[in-house]
Amino acid sequence: MTRTDPVPEVHPAPAAPTIASSGGSMLSDEGVATGVDAAARKRTLHRSLQKQRAALIAKLDGLAERQARWPVTPTGTNVLGLVKHVAGVQARYFGEVFGRPLPDPPAWLESEDGDDMYASLDETLDEIVAFHHRSAAHTDATIEALDLDSRGVVSWWPEDRRQVTLHRILVHMGAETARHAGHADIVREMLDGLAGDGDGNLAEKSPAEWVAWREHLVDLAERSGLRDLDA
């Protein structure tokens, strides 16, 4: 894909029978039920992580190997690489940090050469997805087994910051996953126009209305640029 490629026609992602299509209001009962204990707080954080994780993996649905690997940014961002990266990161944060290492980890898991940001020719899309699911299951088991104040050690963090709790890592990994799910959303939209998570948060517009909306924004950008020339 180059800058001269046509803009894909927008088509919303359909609602899926997964937590990815759940609205944010459905992720927690805090504020609805009276009294909030540590277990309820953990469920809120866990479900938010699960939603973002499911939204990320869903961005591979319907993509061929070439599309899934295709880099659409100057730094090489691609959907399959994002899924692989998040799978590896969560495996470490909810594995070795809490003394529960993932069994039989792939060789690239601790690589610092960017090997987790793309799939090599020796890896297939299906293999990366399978590893993601294995990593997610291991993560969920750790979260279920531990309390929010359970202690862990992040060996790759600065020495004075390495001591952590499950609560801190849930917040950290939730933010990490949401960030990369957003990246994947934009990359997928650039590939074939699929947009949103099917959770009702994408504006309801026809393909023609999306074209008109984008043209409106282009016009605003061009006209604002003229102000710079007049300054």
The pLDDT of residue 2 is 38
Question: Has residue 3 got a pLDDT over 70?
Answer: no
Where does the pLDDT of residue 17 fall: very low under 50, low under 70, confident under 90, or very high at 90 and above? Answer: confident
Tokens 């359909």: give the residue: 14
The pLDDT of residue 218 is 94
186 token code pair: 């934009």
Where does the pLDDT of residue 204 fall: very low under 50, low under 70, confident under 90, or very high at 90 and above? Answer: very high
Judge whether 181 and 52 are in contact, CB under 8 Å: yes
Q: What digits encode the pLDDT tens for the residues 166-196?
A: 999 999 999 999 999 999 999 999 999 999 9
SS (H, E, C) the chain: CCCCCCCCCCEECCCCCCHHHCCHHHCCCECCECCCCHHHHHHHHHHHHHHHHHHHHHCCCCCCHHHHHCCCCCCCCCHHHHHHHHHHHHHHHCCHHHCCCCCCCCHHHHCCCCHHHCCCCCCCHHHHHHHHHHHHHHHHHHHHHCCCCCEEECCCCCHHHCEEEHHHHHHHHHHHHHHHHHHHHHHHHHHHCEECCCCCCCCCCCHHHHHHHHHHHHHHHHHHHHHHHHC
Report yes or no on whether pTM surpasses 0.75: yes
Average confidence score pLDDT of the chain: 92
Residues of the chain with pLDDT > 90, as a percent, come to 77
Residues contacting 217, CB < 8 A, separation 6+:
none
Question: Has residue 1 got a pLDDT over 50?
Answer: no
Residues contacting 188, CB < 8 A, separation 6+:
59, 63, 79, 194, 195
